[in-house]
Amino acid sequence: MDITEGTLLDGRLRYMQPREGFRSGIEPVFLAAAIPVRADQRILEAGSGSGATLLCLAARVPGIAATGVEIDPVLVSLAAENAVANGLNGLRFVVGDITGTLEIGLFDHACANPPYHAPGGTPSPLASRARAKIAPAGLFVAWIAALARYLRPNGTLSLILPAPALPACLEALSAARCGSVMLLPLWPRAGQRAKLVLLRAVRDGR
C-alpha cells in the first residue's frame, strides 16, 4: 500500500495514512475536541481508521487510555505506527467489528465518525473507502447500540455526522438508552446551513 505522511493539529502530530482510499478530513479533529475526557479515563472509538481522532485527543489530554476498533488490519497497523511515532503510549488499536463480541472492557467515553452515505449510486472501487462512507441499513442502530454497551453508567457517546443523518441517529440513541443529547451544528459560514453536526449523549441520560 502506498502511504503518505502529513501532520495534524498544525504540525503537532505526524500522521501517516493511505494515499488512496478513505482519507481523514477535518471531522476527526472536531470530534476529538468535543469529547470531555480526563487524563484518568478510558475512551473507545469505533471505526478508528488510521487513528486521527485518538491521536488528536491524546495530544489534547495526555495520559488517557484509548482503544480504537477498526475492521481493516492495514489501517490498524498504520494507527499503531502513528501512535508510536508521536510517543503516545496510551493508545491501543485492535482489529475487530464494533458490533461483534470484543473483550475490551468498559469505557468512560465512546466516539465515532460513522459511515453515513446510503447504499446506491456508484460505489468506490476501493474497499476501504466504501466501508468508511457507505452506511448499510441499520448501521446507526447497530453502532450506537454497540458503543453504548461498552459505556459505564453516565458515560458519554460523541458522534460527528452529516446533518441529514441526525433523525436516524437520535432514534438509535433513544433505543440504546442514551439521552441528555447536546448538539453543535458546524456552520461553514454565516447564512449557510450546517452540513455537519457534533452530537454528545449520555448513557442512561434523560
pLDDT in tens, 11-24: 999 999 998 766 77
Supply the CATH number for residue 90's domain.
Answer: 3.40.50.150
- Kindly state the cell numbers that stand for 17: 495514512
Alpha-carbon span 174 to 48, nearest angstrom:
24
Dist CA 131 CA 116 (whole Å)? 10
C-alpha cell at 36: 470531555
Residue 206 has a pLDDT of: 87
Residue 185, domain member (yes or no): no
Contact by Cβ (8 Å): 128, 1: no
Rounded to two decimals, what is the model's pTM? 0.89
26 found inside a domain: yes
pLDDT recorded at residue 135: 56
The pLDDT, as a whole number, for residue 191 is 86
The label of the residue with cell 488517557 reads 64
110 in a domain, yes or no?
yes
pLDDT in tens, 141-150: 899 999 999 9
Residue 165 maps to a domain: no
SS (H, E, C) 156-175: EEEEEEEHHHHHHHHHHHHH
pLDDT of residue 129: 46
Q: Give the whole-angstrom CA distance, residue 149 versus residue 99.
A: 10
At residue 26, what is the residue type? I
In the three-class reduction of DSSP (H, G, I as helix; E, B as strand; rest coil), residue 196 is classed as strand
For residue 110, the enclosing domain spans 3-158
Grid cell, residue 86, equals 508521536
Which grid cell is 60?
489534547
Tell whether the torsion through CA atoms of 127, 46, 164 and 162 is positive or negative.
Answer: negative
The count of domains in the chain is 1
Does 206 map to a domain? no
Confidence band for 190, pLDDT divided at 50, 70 and 90: confident
- Asked whether residue 156 carries a pLDDT value surpassing 80, the answer given is yes
